[in-house]
Structure 1
Amino acid sequence: MTVINTNIKSLVSQNAMIKNNRDLSDAMQQLSTGKRINSAADDAAGLAISSRMTSQITGLNQAIRNGNDSVSMLQTTEGAMIEMTNMLQRMRELAVQSSNDTYTDVDRGYLDLEFQQLKAEVNRITKDTEWNGMPILNGTVENDDGTFGKFEFQIGANDGQIITHTVSDMGFRDDAKAIFKTDTPNSVGVSQQSSLTLSGTYKPGDVINVKIGETSANYTVVDADLTGADDDANLITIATNLALATGATMGNTTVLASSNVLTFTADTAGSGFTAKATNDLVDVGALKNVQSLTVLNNTDSNTSMRELDVALNRISTERAGLGAVMNRLTYAVDNLANVSQNTSESRSRIMDADYAKASSELARTQIISQAATAMLAQANQQPQSVLQLLQG
């Protein structure tokens, strides 16, 4: 049948060109992006799988960085302990030297000068050693579960993939004291005044008890009290909060805080009160046995030798724990890198374009496109033959 209105051959050529151009566009897109899957239409299941793999890979890569940061923190911690060990060894050497009776009391006093300076420096290192702004040797870093000194290292791409290590409080406190002093005795026409001076180092959980006459009040030191730059700043905060706590409960007495000193004044002239304050201190610090050591005589020197052996053993135990965790973290990081590599390779098989295949497809579709264009031209010319019938 010969017709003009409907050119079947032209329609067939057009449909073939549309399909071929779609394949040509896909091939060009793959070659341009390097990806086999550029939209969900390309491979819906493959896109979902690759998306999950991408989350896993980025999580693994961040976990690798977490692990390396964790090792760095622990190395900093152990580095401080190395110097503490060196100083304790020197202190023990001084104790051995001082225990010899060839030295006079004056000589031992000279030895004790260095001994006390080294002891103070050991304690200072435990308070001032920081990593990323966190004091890592004094047990004041609080975990979300309320545990002090506990660190959770996220070594995995998913929730709960952690390695936990607790760094002990390696220091010892400077003696914390709350001492009452009566400045003006009770007499006719004069209101009694007493002052309470706070000194030393307080820790979370320490309780200060103040008793005025028959009324007493307790104040428990909390973390917020200890955020100052040093012990002096912390004492001012504690004194302020202690004044608020006692002033709210003490009858007939005015309580004022100035720096680290609280002043208690009887509201009625001529009236007086008995006053005292006590500390209930939390026992903290792995090296607390070193705090009161001296080498001023033979007996003290021998005691120092024994206690320093205990302190050195405690540091060695802590360092051994740090070393074990650092080795574990190193192996964990190596494993994470291996898993990340293999997961990336798996994702590549799903997502990435095969350039040999895509370039062959491009060449094929380009040739077909040219041929289809030629055939469409021929199909459009064929209706012209109908004019031959009309000319007869």
Structure 2
Amino acid sequence: MSLDFSVNNNASAASILSNLQYVNNQINTSYQQLSTGNRVNSAADDPAGYAIAQQMTAQVNALNQAVQNAQNGISMLQTASGAMNQITNILQTMNTLAVEAANGTENSADLNNLNQEFVDLQNQIDNIASQTKFNTMTLLDGSFATTSVVFQINTDSTGNSQLAVTIPQVNISALFGGTIQITSQSLAQAAIASVQAAITSLSAYQAQVGAVEDQLNYTVSNLQNTENNLQNAESTITNTDMAQAYTQFSQQQVLQQVGLAMLSQADQQPDAILKLLQ
């Protein structure tokens, strides 16, 4: 067995120092994993896992935005539906006035009074149609009657991720072709048919809008379920197993202390050369 006595090179100390640096790096990694709760904080921690996690994160972020898009779509349709509900209430009042005016017991003064309210209600319908807006977009003036509003409700660019919706024009021009009057019994009888047809049409519009709202609500639920599953899958890749990480951290601390002690001993080896010179 040979002994290596060298002043210029201490192989034992160099080897111990290299191991100690490795342990220190592992300790720093453990600090980061324990403090952040993430096992993968950079690509160096797990290259394959990091790449998969980034893809999943992109999907989760896109799903979150798709959920927000669908919820905004629901809010938009609820705004339109609420306004149409108010117009339906007005049409119901107009129907009552027209039925009253169609009775032969009403004189001309009665008919004029009834007609004044009847016309005012039509003006209110036009006012609602022109003032019902969502994010500055007017909804019931026909802007979306022929050109659909398209909701992006999933994460890709295919048609399956888009939902096109039309919102009908709901004003006097669309409902009646213009202002109608009940100044005579015959005009009132004609107005009954017009108003009741408008109620039927508007009810059908509201049913269509309600069906799309239901579709969007189901879409939101499905997107949120998909997002939760993806987040769970991502967490299995990126999250720190705290018990395992702390156990490794404790082992690394012991190795660090032992390494420091051994480095101190290795640094004393050159002292043996001095003893030879004594």
TM-score, normalization by structure 1 = 0.66
- Output one character per residue of 1:224-264: Cα deviation in whole Å (capped at 9) or x when no partner: xxxxxxxxxxxxxxxxxxxxxxxxxxxxxxxxxxxxxxxxx
Give the match for residue 69 of structure 1.
72
In structure 2, C-alpha distance between the alignment counterparts of 1:91 and 1:387, rounded to whole Å: 116
1:288 aligns with 2:153: no
- Output one character per residue of 1:196-227: Cα deviation in whole Å (capped at 9) or x when no partner: xxxxxxxxxxxxxxxxxxxxxxxxxxxxxxxx
The amino acid that maps onto 2:253 is: Q
Task: Give aligned pairs, total.
Answer: 273
Give the match for residue 154 of structure 2.
156
The amino acid that maps onto 1:158 is: D
In structure 1, C-alpha distance between the alignment counterparts of 2:46 and 2:12, rounded to whole Å: 33
Q: Give the secondary structure class of the aligned counterpart of 1:39.
A: coil
The amino acid that maps onto 1:80 is: A
Partners of 1:123 and 1:171 within 8 A in 2: yes
- Output one character per residue of 1:20-45: Cα deviation in whole Å (capped at 9) or x when no partner: 12211211121232221222221122
Partners of 1:134 and 1:141 within 8 A in 2: no
In structure 1, C-alpha distance between the alignment counterparts of 2:275 and 2:149, rounded to whole Å: 94
Partners of 2:74 and 2:217 within 8 A in 1: yes
Give the match for residue 277 of structure 1.
none
In structure 2, C-alpha distance between the alignment counterparts of 1:105 and 1:60, rounded to whole Å: 64
Over the matched positions of the two proteins, sequence identity in percent amounts to: 34
> Superposition pairs for residues 115-130 of structure 1, below 5 Å?
115-130=118-133
Equivalent residue for 1:310, pick from 197, 204, 217: 197
Q: Give the secondary structure class of the aligned counterpart of 1:382.
A: coil
Give the match for residue 5 of structure 2.
4
> Which structure is higher in strand share?
1
> Superposition pairs for residues 77-88 of structure 1, below 5 Å?
77-88=80-91
Give the match for residue 186 of structure 2.
299
Partners of 2:144 and 2:168 within 8 A in 1: no
Q: Which consecutive unaligned segments of at least 5 residues does structure 2 have?
A: none
Partners of 2:144 and 2:166 within 8 A in 1: no
In structure 2, C-alpha distance between the alignment counterparts of 1:311 and 1:165, rounded to whole Å: 21
Q: Give the secondary structure class of the aligned counterpart of 1:303.
A: helix
Superposition RMSD in Å: 1.8
- Quickly say closer, same or farther: Cα 1:141–1:325, change in 2 above 3 A: closer
> Superposition pairs for residues 60-209 of structure 1, below 5 Å?
60-141=63-144, 147-148=146-147, 150-160=148-158, 161-173=161-173
> Superposition pairs for residues 252-267 of structure 1, below 5 Å?
none
Which ranges of 4 or more aligned residues in structure 1 deviate by more than 6 Å? none
- Output one character per residue of 1:290-349: Cα deviation in whole Å (capped at 9) or x when no partner: x24221222111111111111001100110011111111111111111111111111111
Instruction: Out of 324-333 and 29-38, give the one that drifted further.
Output: 29-38
Give the match for residue 40 of structure 1.
43
In structure 2, C-alpha distance between the alignment counterparts of 1:43 and 1:9, rounded to whole Å: 32
The amino acid that maps onto 1:157 is: T
Give the match for residue 348 of structure 1.
235
- Quote the offset at 1:141 in angstroms: 4.9
1:16 aligns with 2:14: no
Higher RCO by CA contacts (8 Å cutoff, separation 6 or greater): 2
In structure 1, C-alpha distance between the alignment counterparts of 2:83 and 2:92, rounded to whole Å: 14
- Quote the offset at 1:15 in angstroms: 2.4
